[in-house]
C-alpha cells in the first residue's frame, strides 16, 4: 500500500502483461487475491488485467472494437498508477455483468463492461476489495474451456490483448485447467498462427505462457497446502451458525443435525465440530461402520444426555458416507435420533450461507501474501519451470508444482472410492488426524478412564495474565481430556492470588460444556506471578496435592513458569509437569507462531477498521490513525495493517523518527494530489456523490494508519494527530479514532473465533516421563511465609519423594516428573 503508487518500472525492460481470474466455486478472499496480484504486479512494473467470469471470460474475450481498452481512454495512466474515469468497482456494482448476460440495457454513464471480459485495471480499481465476500470479477464453470476449441479461442484472446502471464485462483478443477492450458499452449499458438488468427510476430512474442495457481476453495481440500483461501471464513460462518443454534437447542433440549459443505473433504465438518464442541461427526475420510454406526451414535449421545446435557449437535459433511460408501444424509440421522432416543430433532442445512459474508482477517492476510508470491513466481518463471501452486505450510508461503498437488488431492478421492480410509486420512495434512483425535478426546465420555489408577493425576489449571479469546476453549479441552484419561482437573480461580486463597475447585465434564464460545476467562485471571510468595505457592501445591499444572496465558504465564522452574531447586513441590499454553492477544510469547486469542483480536481489529472505513464515506480526505494494543510486540499492528489495507504501520520493532513521519506526510500529500487531479477534471465529485449514496464505505480519499500503542514514547498517537493536522495543505483532516480497548473488549465479551484451542499442547501434559524426586535442596521452612494458616512443609516433599522412590501404591504418589516447558 505504501510505496506502490510511486513505483516506477524499469523502462529498459519489457513489461510483463499479467491477467488474473477467479474460477470454480467462489470463496471469501478471492478479492484479496485479485487486489494483491494487481498491486504487487504494478509495483514490479507489470501491466495488469482482470478476466471476468473465470475461464468463460477468457474464451469470450473482448468483442471487436473493445480490444486494448487501455488505449481507448478507459484507463488513464498516471505514471504507473491507473485511475479510471468510472471505476471498475462502480461498473460491477451497477450490475453491468447482469446487463451483459441478458444483452439489454446500457450503463447510464455510457461506459459499460458489455462485450469486455478482459479488462485493463490499475491501482485504485482494486482499492477496498478486502472487505468484499465472494469474487467481484465473477466466476463461472466454463464448459467451453474444457474443449480444445475453447482453449484455442482463449489463447487467441489473450494474445490479442498482449497478455503473457496468468494467475488463476480456484479449486483443483481450475488448477487442472490451468495446467492443461499451459502444456497445450505451444501447439495452440502454432495452430493460431497457421490458421492466420494471429501474426507471426505475435506467435513469437507469446511462445510460452506463464501460469501460477492459488487455491480458492472453502473446503480446504487441496493437498500440499495447509489452508485454502476462503476455508477460514467458511469455518467462521459455520461457527456463528452453530452458536445461534446452540441457544435454541439448549432452550428446548433439542438435537440438531447440521449439514455443512464438503463433498469430498471433511475439513469444514471436522474443524466446526472441534470449534463448536459438537457431539458426533460424519466425514468422508473416516466413515463409521456401516453395520452399527446408528448404535454407536445413539450410545454416545445417550451417554452425554445421561450426565445432564440438554442439547445435542451432530455435524454431517455433505459428502459423508458409511464404510460401504453409502451416503449418510442429515435427514436420516435426525430420524434415528428421534426414533431411537426420543429426542426432539431438527435438521439445519447451512448451504450457501457458508460461502457468504466478508472475509475474516486470515482470509485477507494469506491471499495478500500469496498474491505477492504469485507475481514473484511469474516473474521468475522460465519455459522450463513447472507451473506453481502457491500454498501455505506451517505458516510460510510456499510454491509447489501445481500438478503434483492436484494429483495428490485426487488420490484422496480414489482412496475413499477404494475404501482405503487409512490412506485417505494419511493423504490429508497431519493436522487433520490430530484434530480428529482431539475431537474424540473432548467429545467421548468414557465409562472407564483410560489410565490405570497409579497414573492418574490431579491437574491444576490456571489462567495467568490478561484474558484472551480461546482461554476457555483450551480449558474445556484440557478438562475433557483429563477426565477421559482418568485425571482430576482442578480450576485455580484468579491465578496465583486465588491459589493462595484456596480458590480451587474440581471441574466436571458437563460444567465446561459451553466454554468453547465464551470469551475472556471463566477461571478469572490476573497478572500476579508466583514470586509474590513462592514458598506459600509451594505450600498450596502440597495442600491441594497437585501433580501437574497447566498455565494458560501470555508472557506472564511464561514468566510464571520460569519462576516455578527455578523454584524447583528449593521446592520439590514444583517437580511436577508444568505446561504453558500460550494465550495472549499480543502474540508475543517466544517459540510459538500463534498464541490463543491473537486471531480473535485481529478479527476484532478488522471489524473495527471496516466500520471506520464506512464512516469515512461521510466526508472526504480523512486520515484515520488507529491505535492497537500489543505492548512491545508489533504483531497485531503489522498483521492488522495487512488485513485492513492500511497505508502505514508503526511498530515498536521498527521504531519511529521524525524523518519517517515527514516522509509519510509527504507521501500522503502526493497520494491525495493524484486524487485531486481526477477531481479537478470534474469526475470524482460525481462519483463520490453517487458512491456515497449507494455504497457507503468506499471512499478513495480516506486512509488508515495502524499504530501500535507503544511504537514510540515520543511520537504518540496524539503527536501524530497534531502533525497531520498541521499539514492542512491537502485537506488532511485528521479524525483520531482511538481503538485501544476494542480488541481486549472483544476478547472479553465475544467468544473466541474458529481457530480456538489447539489440542496438541494439552496432550503434552500426559507425555511427561515419570522421574524420581529431586531431593537436593530443601529450603529453610522459616523462609516460607504463612498464608491461610499454612506453611510450606519440606517434610511432605521428602515423604512423597520417598514413597515415589519406593514405587508405593497410593494413587497420587507419582507426581514427580521431568519438568518441561511448552511454549
Ligand atoms: P470447486 O472446488 O469450488 O469446485 P473447481 O475449480 O474445482 O472449484 P471446477 O468446476 O472443477 O471447479 O473447475 C472450474 C473450471 O475449470 C471448469 O468449469 C473448467 O472450465 C475448468 N476445468 C476444470 N477441469 C478442467 C480440465 N481438465 N481441462 C480444462 N479445463 C478444466
CA of 173 to the centre of ligand 1 (A): 3
Q: Name which of 150-164, 190-204, 558-572, 732-746 the model is least confident about.
A: 732-746
Residue of 152 and 598 predicted with greater confidence: 152
* pLDDT over 70 (residue 97): no
Please state, in angstroms and as integers, the Cα–Cα distance from residue 296 to each residue in 274, 291, 335, 645, following that order: 19, 10, 15, 49
Q: What angle do CA 417, 422, 425 make, to 5 degrees?
A: 85
Distance CA(379)–CA(129), nearest Å, equals 24
- Cα–chain center distance at 548: 32
Other CB atoms within 10 A of residue 310 CB: 14
Q: 285-333, pLDDT tens digit by residue?
A: 999 999 999 999 999 999 999 999 999 999 999 999 999 999 999 999 9
In this prediction, residue 798 carries a pLDDT of 43
Q: Which of 125, 219, 363, 797 is catalytic?
A: 219
Atom index in ligand 1 nearest the CA of residue 175 equals: 6
- Residue to mutate, 22, 57, 172, 174, ligand 1, most ligand atoms under 8 Å from C-beta: 174
CA of 579 to the centre of ligand 1 (A): 47
Binding pocket residue ranges, ligand 1, CB within 6 Å: 23-25, 55, 141-142, 145-146, 170-174, 176-177, 180, 217
Please state, in angstroms and as integers, the Cα–Cα distance from residue 155 to each residue in 53, 69, 116, 203, following that order: 16, 18, 16, 11
Of 52, 137, 127, nearest to 691 by C-alpha is 127
- Cα–chain center distance at 507: 31
DSSP string, 668-704: HHHHHHHHHHHHHTT-HHHHHHHHHHH-TT--TTEEE
Atom index in ligand 1 nearest the CA of residue 55 equals: 20
- Residue to mutate, 141, 402, 410, ligand 1, most ligand atoms under 8 Å from C-beta: 141
Q: Of all helices (H) and strands (E), which one includes residue 491?
A: strand 488-492
CA of 17 to the centre of ligand 1 (A): 24
Atom index in ligand 1 nearest the CA of residue 218 equals: 3
- Region 496-505: what's the mean pLDDT? 97
Distance CA(786)–CA(170), nearest Å, equals 65
Tell me the three state secondary structure of residue 194: helix
Residue in this structure with the C-alpha cell 484451542, named with its chain if needed: 757
* pLDDT over 70 (residue 801): no
Residue with CA closest to ligand 1 atom 3: 25
Q: At 11, is the pLDDT very low, low, confident or very high (cuts 50, 70, 90)?
A: low
CA of 56 to the centre of ligand 1 (A): 11
- 659 an active-site residue? no
Distance CA(125)–CA(471), nearest Å, equals 41
Q: 624-672, pLDDT tens digit by residue?
A: 777 788 778 888 888 988 888 887 788 888 887 888 888 877 777 776 6
In this prediction, residue 751 carries a pLDDT of 38
Q: State whether the Cα torsion 745-746-751-752 is positive or negative.
A: negative
Q: 324-368, pLDDT tens digit by residue?
A: 999 999 999 999 999 999 999 999 999 999 988 899 999 999 999
Distance CA(375)–CA(42), nearest Å, equals 10
CA of 358 to the centre of ligand 1 (A): 24
- Cα–chain center distance at 115: 37
Atom index in ligand 1 nearest the CA of residue 221 equals: 2
Q: At 31, is the pLDDT very low, low, confident or very high (cuts 50, 70, 90)?
A: very high
In this prediction, residue 616 carries a pLDDT of 60
In this prediction the pTM is 0.81
Classify residue 196 by burial, with Cβ atoms within 10 Å: 0-12, 13-18, 19+.
exposed
* pLDDT over 80 (residue 503): yes
Q: 113-154, pLDDT tens digit by residue?
A: 667 899 888 887 887 788 889 999 999 999 999 999 999 999
- Region 488-505: what's the mean pLDDT? 97
- Residue to mutate, 22, 24, 57, ligand 1, most ligand atoms under 8 Å from C-beta: 24
In this prediction, residue 721 carries a pLDDT of 62
- Region 218-229: what's the mean pLDDT? 93
Classify strands 47-51 and 210-215 as parallel, antiparallel or unpaired: unpaired
Q: State whether the Cα torsion 219-224-229-231 is positive or negative.
A: positive
Q: At 15, is the pLDDT very low, low, confident or very high (cuts 50, 70, 90)?
A: confident
Q: Average pLDDT of the chain?
A: 77
Q: Which of 104-118, 461-475, 756-770 has the highest mean pLDDT?
A: 461-475
Radius of gyration of the chain (CA): 30
Q: At 514, is the pLDDT very low, low, confident or very high (cuts 50, 70, 90)?
A: confident
Q: Name which of 260-264, 292-296, 614-618 the model is least confident about.
A: 614-618
In this prediction, residue 739 carries a pLDDT of 35
Q: What angle do CA 247, 248, 252 make, to 5 degrees?
A: 120
Residue in this structure with the C-alpha cell 478471492, named with its chain if needed: 30
- Region 37-64: what's the mean pLDDT? 90
Other CB atoms within 10 A of residue 790 CB: 15
CA of 43 to the centre of ligand 1 (A): 30
Q: At 725, is the pLDDT very low, low, confident or very high (cuts 50, 70, 90)?
A: low
Q: Which of 654-658, 755-759, 795-799 has the highest mean pLDDT?
A: 654-658
DSSP string, 699-729: -TTEEEEEEETTS-SSS-HHHHHHHHHH-GG
Amino acid at each position: 500500500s505504501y510505496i506502490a503508487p510511486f513505483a516506477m518500472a524499469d523502462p529498459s525492460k519489457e513489461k510483463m502483461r499479467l491477467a488474473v481470474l477467479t474460477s470454480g466455486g467462489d470463496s471469501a478472499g478471492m478479492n484479496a487475491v485479485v487486489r494483491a496480484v494487481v498491486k504487487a504486479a504494478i509495483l514490479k512494473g507489470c501491466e495488469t488485467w482482470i478476466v471476468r467470469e473465470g475461464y468463460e471470460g477468457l474464451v469470450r474475450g473482448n468483442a471487436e472494437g473493445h480490444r486494448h481498452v487501455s488505449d481507448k481512454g478507459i484507463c488513464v495512466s498516471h505514471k504507473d498508477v491507473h485511475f479510471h474515469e468510472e471505476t471498475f468497482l462502480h461498473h460491477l456494482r451497477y450490475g453491468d455483468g447482469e446487463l451483459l448476460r441478458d444483452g439489454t440495457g446500457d450503463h447510464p454513464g455510457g461506459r459499460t463492461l458489455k462485450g469486455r471480459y478482459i479488462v485493463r485495471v490499475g491501482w485504485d480499481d482494486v482499492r477496498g476489495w478486502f472487505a468484499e465476500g465472494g469474487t467481484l470479477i465473477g466466476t463461472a464453470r466454463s464448459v467451453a474451456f474444457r474443449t480444445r476449441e475453447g482453449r484455442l479461442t482463449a489463447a487467441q484472446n489473450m494474445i490479442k490483448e498482449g497478455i503473457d502471464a496468468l494467475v488463476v485462483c480456484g479449486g483443483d478443477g481450475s488448477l487442472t485447467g490451468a495446467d492443461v492450458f499451459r502444456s497445450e499452449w505451444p501447439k495452440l499458438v502454432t495452430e493460431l498462427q497457421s490458421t492466420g488468427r494471429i501474426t507471426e510476430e505475435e506467435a513469437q512474442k507469446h511462445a510460452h505462457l506463464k501460469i501460477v495457481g492459488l487455491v480458492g476453495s472453502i473446503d480446504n481440500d487441496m493437498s500440499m497446502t495447509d489452508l485454502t483461501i476462503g476455508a477460514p471464513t467458511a469455518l467462521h460462518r459455520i461457527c456463528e451458525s452453530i452458536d445461534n443454534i446452540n441457544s435454541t437447542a439448549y432452550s428446548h433440549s433439542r438435537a440438531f443435525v447440521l449439514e455443512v459443505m464438503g463433498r469430498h473433504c471433511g475439513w469444514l465438518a471436522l474443524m466446526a465440530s472441534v470449534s463448536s464442541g459438537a457431539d458426533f461427526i460424519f466425514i468422508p475420510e473416516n466413515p463409521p461402520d456401516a453395520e452399527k454406526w446408528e448404535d454407536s451414535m445413539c450410545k454416545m449421545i445417550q451417554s452425554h444426555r445421561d450426565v445432564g446435557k440438554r442439547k445435542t449437535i451432530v455435524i454431517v459433511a455433505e459428502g459423508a458416507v458409511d464404510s460401504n460408501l453409502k451416503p449418510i444424509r442429515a435427514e436420516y440421522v435426525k430420524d434415528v435420533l428421534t426414533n431411537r432416543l426420543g429426542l426432539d430433532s431438527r435438521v439445519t442445512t447451512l448451504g450457501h450461507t457458508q460461502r457468504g459474508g466478508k472475509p475474516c482477517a486470515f482470509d485477507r492476510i494469506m491471499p495478500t501474501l500469496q498474491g505477492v508470491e504469485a507475481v514473484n513466481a511469474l516473474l521468475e518463471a522460465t519455459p522450463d519451470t513447472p507451473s506453481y501452486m502457491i500454498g501455505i505450510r506451517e505458516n510460510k508461503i510456499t510454491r509447489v508444482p501445481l500438478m503434483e498437488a492436484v494429483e495428490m488431492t485426487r488420490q484422496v478421492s480414489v482412496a475413499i472410492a477404494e475404501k482405503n480410509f487409512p490412506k485417505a486420512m494419511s493423504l490429508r495434512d497431519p493436522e487433520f488426524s490430530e484434530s480428529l483425535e482431539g475431537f474424540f478426546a473432548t467429545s467421548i465420555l468414557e465409562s472407564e478412564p483410560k489410565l490405570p489408577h497409579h497414573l492418574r493425576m490431579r491437574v491444576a489449571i490456571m489462567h495467568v495474565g490478561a484474558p484472551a479469546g480461546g482461554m476457555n476453549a483450551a480449558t474445556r479441552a484440557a478438562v475433557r481430556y483429563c477426565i477421559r484419561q482418568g485425571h482430576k482437573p482442578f480450576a485455580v480461580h484468579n491465578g496465583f492470588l486465588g491459589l493462595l486463597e484456596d480458590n480451587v475447585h474440581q471441574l466436571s465434564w458437563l460444567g465446561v460444556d459451553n466454554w468453547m464460545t465464551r470469551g475472556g476467562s471463566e477461571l478469572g485471571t490476573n497478572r500476579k506471578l508466583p514470586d509474590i510468595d513462592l514458598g506459600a505457592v509451594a505450600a498450596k501445591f502440597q495442600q491441594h496435592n497437585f501433580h501437574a499444572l497447566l498455565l494458560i496465558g501470555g508472557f506472564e504465564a511464561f514468566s510464571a513458569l520460569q519462576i516455578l522452574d527455578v523454584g524447583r531447586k528449593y521446592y520439590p513441590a514444583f517437580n511436577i509437569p508444568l505446561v504453558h499454553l500460550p494465550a495472549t492477544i499480543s502474540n508475543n510469547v517466544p517459540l510459538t507462531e500463534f498464541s490463543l486469542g491473537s486471531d480473535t483480536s485481529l478479527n476484532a481489529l478488522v471489524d473495527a477498521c471496516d466500520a471506520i472505513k464506512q464512516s469515512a464515506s461521510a466526508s472526504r480526505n480523512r486520515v484515520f490513525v488507529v491505535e492497537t494494543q500489543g505492548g512491545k510486540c508489533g504483531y497485531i499492528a503489522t498483521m492488522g495493517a495487512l488485513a485492513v489495507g492500511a497505508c502505514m504501520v508503526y511498530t515498536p520493532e521498527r521504531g519511529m523518527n521524525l524523518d519517517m513521519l515527514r516522509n509519510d506526510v509527504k507521501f500522503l500529500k502526493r497520494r491525495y494530489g493524484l486524487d485531486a487531479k481526477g477531481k479537478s477534471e470534474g469526475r470524482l465529485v460525481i462519483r463520490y456523490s453517487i458512491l456515497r449514496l449507494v455504497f457507503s464505505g468506499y471512499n478513495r480519499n480516506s486512509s488508515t494508519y495502524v499504530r501500535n500503542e507503544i511504537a514510540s514514547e515520543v511520537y504518540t498517537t496524539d503527536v501524530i494527530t497534531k502533525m497531520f493536522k498541521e499539514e492542512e495543505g491537502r485537506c488532511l483532516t485528521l479524525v483520531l479514532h482511538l481503538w485501544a480497548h476494542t480488541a481486549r473488549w472483544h476478547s472479553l465479551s465475544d467468544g473466541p473465533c474458529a481457530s480456538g484451542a489447539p489440542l496438541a499442547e494439552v496432550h503434552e501434559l500426559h507425555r511427561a516421563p515419570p522421574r524420581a524426586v529431586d531431593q537436593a535442596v530443601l529450603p529453610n521452612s522459616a523462609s516460607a511465609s504463612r498464608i491461610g494458616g499454612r506453611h510450606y512443609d519440606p517434610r511432605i516433599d521428602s515423604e512423597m519423594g520417598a514413597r515415589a522412590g519406593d514405587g508405593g501404591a497410593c494413587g497420587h504418589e507419582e507426581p514427580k516428573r521431568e519438568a518441561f516447558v511448552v511454549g
